[in-house]
């Protein structure tokens, strides 16, 4: 009798294993891989790169719903530039950063120009990067030549400073809660990803640090960015060619160059951006706020772009469409053709401008079409000082708009 029971038990046990493996679930449990168990020291000194790579590979090879790699709190990890590649077997590969993570402090330790990013994630579907930790790019050694990067020794070797977090072909990406500071270049780069959620992140770099964009987006769609703080030396968020269906809400930006669509159409490129919704964002002492910038001679379009409920605190260029964009360092002769700008609206703007020309609609001969403004009330940061708008070849309509935008038809 006892033997019979035991046999029955083993049979059903085997049956459970067999069923689970057929369904591809269950028998590999969701686990957490602590980088300390893979040889990391977290002492703020030793190189913890290989431990992270080993933990990541282990987690990536393991099926399940969610496999987690942990940087535990209270530790300081040091990493060299790394490529972390999928595909991974679990539905979600999670990197939980609660300790602090630092990049190398000098250009030499970054292996000079070899690496394009500190953490370069590729082809990891369902990646989650979250936690209360700080990712410190220690970028100051890269910023030495602030006026013109093209002339720095680093770019003479044919390379730009690296980004901090780079996601390439990572669909269904989720970034939550992390802080990131002082990237050599862009802090978060989203390239070729579909389905991205970014929330409660905190990005900072000095106002005068060059090209330190907060979030750079290219060739990506279906993004939701919300409840975050970004204050850097360049764009808080830059939306570049090949991007569409992007929602940005409740982001506080500043210092920085604003939330920018572009630049698009550089060196004759055909770039396309559409369906960008920016809602409930605040710009504090930024160089620009709501911005679209395209180069002369480009092709493609920037269309269906909506800025709603925007608060301005001493912002430079609160509203600016610049179809003759020229990055200071380069010579930009007039060129035929333009990235077409259409169906752009600015609604519910209030607050103060640090510049007299609060609204700039500087379009090429082709013109910008269906530009809409309503409930725009911008006053000068200097009490009583009048503001003005500049219009070149802009068409569309306006409701209440202060300052008045003469080229838009009154509705």
Ligand X SMILES: *[C@@H]1O[C@H](CO)[C@@H](O)[C@H](O)[C@H]1NC(C)=O
34 or 311: whose CB is closer to ligand X?
311
* 77-114: b (≥16 Cβ within 10 Å) or e: bbbbbbebbbebebebbbbbbbbbbbbbeebeebeebe
Sign for the CA dihedral angle at 85, 87, 88, 92 comes to positive
For residues 321 and 339, give the distance between their C-alpha atoms in angstroms, rounded to a whole number: 12
Residues 270-289, interacting with ligand X (CB under 6 A)? 277
96 or 209: whose CB is closer to ligand X?
209
To the nearest whole angstrom, how small is the minimum distance from the Cβ of residue 340 to ligand X?
A: 23
74 or 384: whose CB is closer to ligand X?
384
41 or 222: whose CB is closer to ligand X?
222
Helical (H) or strand (E) element with 135: strand 134-136
Q: Are strands 368-380 and 401-402 parallel, antiparallel or unpaired?
A: parallel
Sign for the CA dihedral angle at 126, 241, 183, 176 comes to negative
For residues 186 and 235, give the distance between their C-alpha atoms in angstroms, rounded to a whole number: 9
How many positions of this chain bind ligand X (CB under 6 A)?
12
102 or 376: whose CB is closer to ligand X?
376
To the nearest whole angstrom, how small is the minimum distance from the Cβ of residue 136 to ligand X?
A: 29
| Structure-token match 């292996």, residue found | 111
| 3-state secondary structure at position 106 | coil
Residues 367-396, interacting with ligand X (CB under 6 A)? 377, 379
To the nearest whole angstrom, how small is the minimum distance from the Cβ of residue 308 to ligand X?
A: 11
Helical (H) or strand (E) element with 129: strand 127-130
To the nearest whole angstrom, how small is the minimum distance from the Cβ of residue 344 to ligand X?
A: 17
Catalytic residue among 191, 202, 257, 350: 257
To the nearest whole angstrom, how small is the minimum distance from the Cβ of residue 390 to ligand X?
A: 21
Neighbours of 7 (CB within 10 A): 10
Residues 127-186, interacting with ligand X (CB under 6 A)? 147-148, 150-151
The verdict on whether 168 is a catalytic residue reads no
Q: Is 247 in the site for ligand X (CB under 6 A)?
A: yes
- Distinct helix (H) and strand (E) counts, the chain: 3, 33
| Structure-token match 């999670």, residue found | 94
| Structure-token match 């103060």, residue found | 352
User: Which of 27, 219, 245, 306: binder of ligand X (CB under 6 A)?
Assistant: 245
Residues 197-226, interacting with ligand X (CB under 6 A)? 222-224
For residues 231 and 213, give the distance between their C-alpha atoms in angstroms, rounded to a whole number: 9
| 3-state secondary structure at position 74 | coil
247 or 345: whose CB is closer to ligand X?
247
Active-site residues, by number, are 257
Binding site for ligand X (CB under 6 A): 147-148, 150-151, 222-224, 245, 247, 277, 377, 379
């Amino acid at each position: 009798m006892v033997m019979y029971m035991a046999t029955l038990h083993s049979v059903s046990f085997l049956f459970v294993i067999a069923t689970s493996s057929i369904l591809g679930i269950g028998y590999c449990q969701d686990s957490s891989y602590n980088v300390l168990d893979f040889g990391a020291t977290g002492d703020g000194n030793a190189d913890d790169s290989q431990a992270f790579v080993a933990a990541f590979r282990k987690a990536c090879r393991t099926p399940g719903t969610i496999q987690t790699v942990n940087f535990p709190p209270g530790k300081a990890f040091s990493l060299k530039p790394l490529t972390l590649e999928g595909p991974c077997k679990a539905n979600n590969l999670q990197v939980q950063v609660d300790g602090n993570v630092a990049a190398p402090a000098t250009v030499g330790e970054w292996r000079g120009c070899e690496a394009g990013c500190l953490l370069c994630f590729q082809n990891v579907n369902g990646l989650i990067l979250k936690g209360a930790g700080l990712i410190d790019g220690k970028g100051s050694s890269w910023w030495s030549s602030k006026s013109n990067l093209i002339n720095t020794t680093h770019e003479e070797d044919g390379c730009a400073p690296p980004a901090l977090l780079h996601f390439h072909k990572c669909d269904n990406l989720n970034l939550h809660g992390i802080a990131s500071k002082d990237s050599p270049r862009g802090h978060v780069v989203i390239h070729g990803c579909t389905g991205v959620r970014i929330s409660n992140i905190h990005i900072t770099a000095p106002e005068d640090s060059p090209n330190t964009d907060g979030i750079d987006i290219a060739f990506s769609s279906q993004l939701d960015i919300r409840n975050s703080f970004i204050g850097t030396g360049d764009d808080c968020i830059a939306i570049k060619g090949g991007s569409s269906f992007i929602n940005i809400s409740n982001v506080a930006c500043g210092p920085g160059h604003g939330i920018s669509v572009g630049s698009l159409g550089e060196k004759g490129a055909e770039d396309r951006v559409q369906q960008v919704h920016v809602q409930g964002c605040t710009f504090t002492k930024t160089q620009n706020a709501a911005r679209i910038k395209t180069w002369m001679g480009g092709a493609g379009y920037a269309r269906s772009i909506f800025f709603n409920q925007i608060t301005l605190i001493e912002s430079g260029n609160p509203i600016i469409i610049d179809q003759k964009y020229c990055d200071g360092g380069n010579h930009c002769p007039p060129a035929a053709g333009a990235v077409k700008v259409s169906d752009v609206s600015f609604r519910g703007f209030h607050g103060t401008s640090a510049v007299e020309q609060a609204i700039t609609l500087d379009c090429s001969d082709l013109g910008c079409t269906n530009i809409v403004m309503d409930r725009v009330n911008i006053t000068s940061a200097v009490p009583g000082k009048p503001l003005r708008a500049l219009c070149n070849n802009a068409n569309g309509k306006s409701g209440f708009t202060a300052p008045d935008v003469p080229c838009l038809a009154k509705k």
